[in-house]
Amino acid sequence: MNQLVQRGLLISDFNLENLSAYLANNREPPLFRCEVAPYGQVTQTLLDSTLPCWNPPPDFTLVWTRPEAVLAGFREALNGDTVEEANLEREVDNYAETIARAGKLSKTIFVPTWNVPTMHLGHGLLDLAPGLGVSRLLMQANLRLLRSLSGIPNVVPLHASRWIEMVGEKAFNERLWHSGKIPFANEVFKIAAREIKAAIRGIGGGSRKLIVLDLDDTLWGGIVGEVGWQNLVLGGHDPMGEAFVEFQRGLKTLTKRGMLLAIASKNEETVALQAIDHHPEMVLRRGDFAAWRINWDDKARNIVELTKGLNLVLDSVVFIDDNQVERDRVRQALPEVLVPEWPVDARLYLRALCELDCFQQPLVTKEDRRRAEMYSQERQRTDSKAQASSVEEWLRTLQITVKVELLGASNIGRATQLLNKTNQMNLSTRRLTEQEFGEWASQPGHRSWVFSVSDRFGDSGLTGILSMAADGDNARIVDFVLSCRVMGRKVEETMLHWAVKWAQSSRLARVVADYSSTPKNAPCHAFFQGSGFDAGKDGRFTWDTVNPYALPDVIKLITPPEDAFDVVSGKPSAAEAGVPLVRD
């Protein structure tokens, strides 16, 4: 993640200067500079796109309101009046519509959920009564707001109620409210600032992707090499054993959101794997781990190898170990790796995991849910590679199929996630919101395709993006993005084949790719250097479209219907250009 200062706009009916200060003074990346819109003018600010605060568009906007300030019905309920729930829902819809309209003015809009002070006269037996209960109406309003905002890609609700709960009884501060129109204690704003930062990191692809775990006294209690797997503290009627099981469940949940788990443990591999395979209370089994290094080597070295083997980079790694010496060693050797302090008491492990704010992501795709399984398949591929006599032979045995589709409603969510998360095989490292990506791809002369890869071991899912722009006589590659999971399997060449084919069909003279260097995308440069494209000055690679770019013979390419292939405006159609729809 770059260190550019991002600009935030804070809109509220109460004083958000303290939050602005916490956001600005927090030195964790990304750095923020925030502007607070005149308070109490929420609707005016959201509706008036000519206001200076919208120009240039903020990197993010926070719209945080009190329900009684924006919903007349809720104000009435706080005053003890009965409220028609349908009327309240209409008010919520109108409010959501106002936010949706502002969606085009900012890259991302955060909308914290509504809360009311814990001390108000509506609590008690009537609090959940229909039409009258303040807490009931609050729940309904929040749920309606979430429903109304869902489907707007760059509007992200935030669960402010959790911030309030975390702070507890001091979350609402009457002193600050009456003196400065600040309803919440500063502890609430500190948590909000941390979560907004984490959310921006997640949206920008800066979340951590791999958790490397120790085993003894981290995933289970005891030293497996000494006590044997049958005698480990894990599950059973034991407070510590239950705590280890809960911690494993927490890790398992993260795997379903796309996080990868790996093991770096000083143990005998066979002994440790026996415990993972056979202990009846293990939640995490062998298939849940993308890779492991179980040996007596330096853990820092093992982490480097694990990361490299998974085609990841060190700043995507979190290392969890109960041993202070190991944590210090990894911190010192690998400063990019996040090594959280870890509690001595195993009953606090799950809490420590929950407090890590480095796993945020704006959506969970089917690829995320299957990631651990995909890496398990990858291990099988690697094993098969060791048995093959050459890389070519190995690739042929994989029976790779690449399916290409035009960017569309069904795939833009995953494509945007891939665009923002991919660092290594990424030509321009362009970061866009879903809305920006969709708008870019729908402009005349612009095309974006997504590539899904599968082979005999399994389906790697949507793992590639190619975006092209007709630029004079050039077909310019704007995005050339490929997940590290499928790098080196001729998918890169397949994408170039497609790029050249589209340029030929559109009667463009050449395909150009302008490489933009980042600290992480050297693999992309190396690929283009060996791609056959002419390497020019300033990182430009060129292919003359007089020459076809061969489809690798180890790839079966499934292409889209001809209207999805499409060509630039005013040029012959794909069918006219003789582009086959399916080829082997």
Partner 1 sequence: MMKPSKEQIAEVIYASIDGVNEMLAPDQWLEKSPQTVILKQGGGLDSLGFVNFVSLVEEKYFDRFGQRIILAQTNPPQNGRHPFQSVESLIEYLDSLSRL
Residues of this chain that bind partner 1 (CB under 8 A): 15, 17-18, 21-22, 24-25, 170, 173, 175-176, 178-180, 182, 186, 190
Beta carbon of residue 17, minimum distance to partner 1 (angstroms, whole number): 5
User: In angstroms, rounded to a whole number, what is the distance separating the alpha carbons of residues 210 and 398?
Assistant: 26
Beta carbon of residue 19, minimum distance to partner 1 (angstroms, whole number): 9
Beta carbon of residue 39, minimum distance to partner 1 (angstroms, whole number): 12
User: In angstroms, rounded to a whole number, what is the distance separating the alpha carbons of residues 177 and 62?
Assistant: 20
Extract the runs of DSSP E, i.e. beta strands, from 13-162: 31-36, 60-64, 109-112, 155-158
Beta carbon of residue 86, minimum distance to partner 1 (angstroms, whole number): 40
Nearer to partner 1, 175 or 537 (CB): 175
Cβ 344 vs Cβ 258: under 8 Å: no
Nearer to partner 1, 118 or 179 (CB): 179
Beta carbon of residue 193, minimum distance to partner 1 (angstroms, whole number): 10
Buried b (16+ CB within 10 A) or exposed e, 423-457: bbbbbbbbbbbbbbbbebbeeebbbbbbbbbbbeb
Nearer to partner 1, 17 or 357 (CB): 17
Nearer to partner 1, 16 or 486 (CB): 16
Cβ neighbors of 250 (< 8 A, separation 6 or more) are: 350, 353, 354
Beta carbon of residue 473, minimum distance to partner 1 (angstroms, whole number): 52
Q: Where are the alpha helices (DSSP H) in 256-365?
A: 269-278, 299-309, 324-333, 349-355
User: In angstroms, rounded to a whole number, what is the distance separating the alpha carbons of residues 488 and 521?
Assistant: 15
User: In angstroms, rounded to a whole number, what is the distance separating the alpha carbons of residues 252 and 242?
Assistant: 15
Beta carbon of residue 160, minimum distance to partner 1 (angstroms, whole number): 19
Nearer to partner 1, 181 or 329 (CB): 181
What DSSP string runs through 11-48?
Answer: EESS--HHHHHHHHH--SSSEEEEEEPPTT-HHHHHH-
Beta carbon of residue 164, minimum distance to partner 1 (angstroms, whole number): 17
CB-count burial class (<10 Å; 0-12, 13-18, 19+) for 27: exposed
| 134: its two tokens | 């303040």
Nearer to partner 1, 195 or 214 (CB): 195
Beta carbon of residue 492, minimum distance to partner 1 (angstroms, whole number): 47
- What is the number of other CB atoms lying within 10 angstroms of the CB of residue 369? 14
Beta carbon of residue 38, minimum distance to partner 1 (angstroms, whole number): 15
CA atoms within 13 A on the CB side of 83: 31
User: In angstroms, rounded to a whole number, what is the distance separating the alpha carbons of residues 32 and 470?
Assistant: 36
Nearer to partner 1, 180 or 580 (CB): 180
Nearer to partner 1, 22 or 480 (CB): 22
Q: Looking at beta carbons, which pairs linking 330-335 to residues 24 or more positions away fall under 8 Å?
A: 330/299, 330/300, 330/303, 333/298, 333/300, 334/300, 334/303, 334/304
Beta carbon of residue 46, minimum distance to partner 1 (angstroms, whole number): 24
Nearer to partner 1, 18 or 142 (CB): 18
Nearest to 541 by CA among 504, 510, 519, 508: 510
| 96: its two tokens | 């959501």
| 409: its two tokens | 């409603």
Nearer to partner 1, 62 or 182 (CB): 182
Nearer to partner 1, 185 or 441 (CB): 185
